[in-house]
Amino acid sequence: MELEKQTLEQFKGQSRLPEFAIPIRYDLTLKLDLSACNFYGKLLIDVSIKGFTKFLVLNALELEFHQVSFINSQNLKYVPSDVLIDSDDEILVLVFEEGLDVGNGVLEIEYSGVLNEHLKGLYRCTYLDKGEKKNMVSTQFEAIDARRCFPCWDEPALKATFKIRLENIPSELTALSNMPISKEIIHESHKTVHFEESIVMSTYLVAIVVGLYDCIEDTTDDGIKVRVYCPVGLSEKGKFALNIAVKTLEFFTMYFSMPYPLPKLDMVAIPEFAGGAMENYGLITYREDMLLQDELHSAAANIQRLTIVVAHEVAHHWFGNLVTMEWWTHIWLNEGFATWVSYLVTDILFPEWKIWNLFLQETIEGLSMDSLEQSHPIEVEIPQARSVLEYFDAISYQKGSAVIRMIQNYLGDEIFQKSLASYMKMYAFKNAKTEDLWNVLTETSGVEVSSIMDIWTKQKGYPVISVKLNNSTLEFEQTQFFSSALNSDAQWIVPLTLSLGSYSEQKKFLLESKIGQLNIEDFFGGNEKIVAENWWIKINSNQASFYRVKYDDNLAARLRKAIASNLLSASDEFGILDDAFALCEACLMPFSSLLYMMDTYRKELEYIVLSRLIDVCYSASKILREAIPKLASDLNQFFISLLLSSAEKLGWEATPGESQSNALMREEVLMALANFGHPQTTEEAIKRFRAFINDENTSLLPVDTRKAAYVAVMRNTSTADRSGLQLLQKLYREVDAVQEKTRILRCIASCPDPTIVAEVLDYMLSDEVRHQDAIYVLHGISWEARATAWTWFKVNWDLILKKWGAEMLFAHFVRDIITPFCCDEMANEVEVFFASHPLPSIELNLKQSVELVRIKARWIQHIIMDDQDQQLITDQFVTCYASY
């Protein structure tokens, strides 16, 4: 026993596997038992021994081993003297007394495992067959859960080929893997399915699905067969995604000057899935609502989201699958690029959507997280592989994509595309680091890209650029922006883009130090233009870069006037409002100044601006309830007044030929008014909901208005009148469309009565709500029920942990239940609770959530202490809007 401990000890606590050997080829046979929910595996791994060794160390987790042997190139068989398993480090150590010489050999392993219920590794979930629940199988291996299915070198750089065989598959089920089927053998009620050998790929991209499906297919111009696998009877709902996949495959082949490397691409709807989708090579898996488009139940937002998600996953077949990050430190190369390029192709497919404006919603998620002290660099050290799960976040995805857009904007579209094509050619079927991409961009563009971009990826955070006008000189000063207003000496090389009075008058330059200046008199052609009445300056034109801007009072006033006069683009209107909110939250701007800025948007707005205005109204309302409770109700009327004209113009029903933007705006603005308790909106919503309950085919509640109706119903539900909850639960049980079920779950916890919300949370724990769908309920918990939700979470801790595990889905419980609080006392209570309930897998998420609570607490105290600003708010915004 002591010898075993010593043997294991030398391999424990290592971030990477030792380099004794590397895999070349996996030959994997899995015998599945869907009734007993277990599997038996036989694995042959072609291995290259790099140096004499007495050990082979692989990754393995929750597997039981039966036989292990190694046969070298001289056909000599070696049986390990010890087979040691360490579940903490997730390694399998094979000890060979004689030792293994340099050269190739085959490692043979027979083992077994359980089909788990936690939506990771090789897992089981259920589907309905004529009303009966039956088991099926799917996989989710990213980031490091291939080891739950088969022992392997589970690191992205250790690519190999895979030949997969599935046995004991019920004959009526469809079996899929990364490659096409090469042979299928029927044995009465079961079958064995053989798949072609794959190209080289990382273990996290291996995939298997076994379930009951209908299939539709199409073929690209290059002859790639694309299929969508849908639940039986729902194949029509896969047509939209199929069309998007074909078009995006063709576009990326052209854009990257690199063909898609596989003979087929399958996309499969999985009834239970932890994430949104997964880019497994040649077999993309999705949540059902991310793949299926329903004419009756898919709102405009659903259609848009589906398009971007499909494009994102297809894009990974170049950024991620073909060229793979060398280690998880560079995960942003996968996720940031797939995010950015999904918007690029969506803009080409649907230019009328103005999708780059919507990209700003991605950017502000990155800006928000990266303003935290508990943020992290884009390139983050991953000392222990499982910890990478916390870094699939707004930094890797949203900030990553935003800095890509920033450097693309700086270098120009043509050079950037040419560089990416060279990068693909150079690193195809290999692994790359961030610096490899910078080197290719430098070589193609002639610009020392790494000197600009290294600091953006290796240093956390971003700057706020303070701008003031001194005569005809613009003066710039950069400081790191923290929502907590923490001081920092960090600096960046910032690509500044300025629009001066119009979008035809622009200036680009690099701010390479803390302070900079720009004389604009010559640029404008004289001082008289600078003092003209309609003159304005916008920094970060069209929000193409990743930083915030703080203007002096004069420049801010000119921008407010330019907004009111419709002189600015929607993206710049969005950016000015978003920066104002962030500066106010950081106590760098009075709350009254934020309200003045919001009042400027009392006009016709594009969707992206209206959506941000609504979000700012939500956040400001919650802060004011705590900071100035006596004014909260009156200021609620101010927020209603900002949104009412848009709602009245849009109405409850679509007009023939209206834009998708109108549908998006209708959904959000009506829901906002329902949340704010606007009497007429609430009355109309409930009336239309009743009509819908009585007749699902009524035209009185179009799909884009249903969230507003559901919220209005729940905001008027209480223990005294539970009918709203009962009707929504009845609708949830009876409706088949996953889009409608999701929509109901997003709204069902919005009730202001904490007792009702507690019942909803208990309902979420029941078998009626799938594991994966808890995230929708959690995100919709009402502000009034936050304390109840926290108590419920603590009481049900063990049950939640058992049912959802301690990783991806559990993180939503932490974030959505903790972040609504806004006082230091609650932040302290949360820290005390988790000190006695430690979970390393959500440590970063927890720290960020607690920090967000403290940021709001600080903001509230700042407002309370500013008597002068409170008086200004009362005089200017309360008395004027009391009648709404």
Known binding-site residue numbers? 312, 316, 335
For residue 590, give every residue at least 6 positions away whose Cβ sits within 8 Å of its Cβ, in sequence order, or none.
584, 866, 869, 872
The torsion angles phi and psi of 214, rounded to 5 degrees, stand at -100, 160
Q: Any idea of the CA torsion for 413, 414, 416, 417, to the nearest 10 degrees?
A: 110
Answer whether 652's CB lies under 8 Å from 684's CB.
Answer: yes
**One-letter amino acid of 172:** E
For residue 828, give every residue at least 6 positions away whose Cβ sits within 8 Å of its Cβ, in sequence order, or none.
none
As a whole number of angstroms, the distance between CA 604 and CA 627 comes to: 31
For 215-246, give the secondary structure using H, E and C.
EEEEECCCCCEEEEEECCCCHHHHHHHHHHHH
Answer whether 150's CB lies under 8 Å from 28's CB.
Answer: yes
For residue 660, give every residue at least 6 positions away whose Cβ sits within 8 Å of its Cβ, in sequence order, or none.
300, 303, 304, 352, 353
As a whole number of angstroms, the distance between CA 123 and CA 121 comes to: 6
Catalytic-role residue among 155, 313, 668, 851: 313
Query: Which residues does the annotation place in the binding site for Zn(2+)?
Result: 312, 316, 335
Three-state secondary-structure class, residue 286: strand
- Confirm whether 184 is a catalytic residue: no
H or E element that contains 732 = helix 723-734
Tell me the two tokens of residue 708.
């507003």
As a whole number of angstroms, the distance between CA 359 and CA 362 comes to: 5
- Pairing relation of β-strands 430-432 and 323-325? parallel
As a whole number of angstroms, the distance between CA 666 and CA 403 comes to: 32
* Sheet (strand 494-500) strand order: 506-511, 494-500, 537-539
The β-bridge partners of 100 are 53
Beta strands (DSSP E) in 326-406 are: none
**DSSP state string for 16-70:** S--TTEEEEEEEEEEEEETTTTEEEEEEEEEEEE-S-EEEEEEE--SEEEEEEEE
Give, rounded to a whole angstrom, the gap between the first and last alpha carbons of the chain: 77
Could you give the angle at which helices 607-627 and 570-585 cross, rounded to 10 degrees? 20
Peptide bond into 712 cis (omega under 30): no
Cα atoms found within 13 Å of the Cα of residue 246, Cβ hemisphere only: 19
As a whole number of angstroms, the distance between CA 572 and CA 578 comes to: 10
Other beta carbons within 10 angstroms of residue 625's beta carbon come to 18
**One-letter amino acid of 480:** Q
As a whole number of angstroms, the distance between CA 624 and CA 636 comes to: 9
As a whole number of angstroms, the distance between CA 613 and CA 608 comes to: 9
Identify which of 868, 856, 875 has the alpha carbon closest to the alpha carbon of residue 624: 856
As a whole number of angstroms, the distance between CA 546 and CA 463 comes to: 8
Give Cα separations from 749 to 207, 808, 817 (angstroms): 35, 21, 12
As a whole number of angstroms, the distance between CA 5 and CA 8 comes to: 5
* Sheet (strand 91-100) strand order: 53-59, 91-100, 82-86
- Pairing relation of β-strands 161-170 and 91-100? unpaired
Annotated catalytic residues are 313
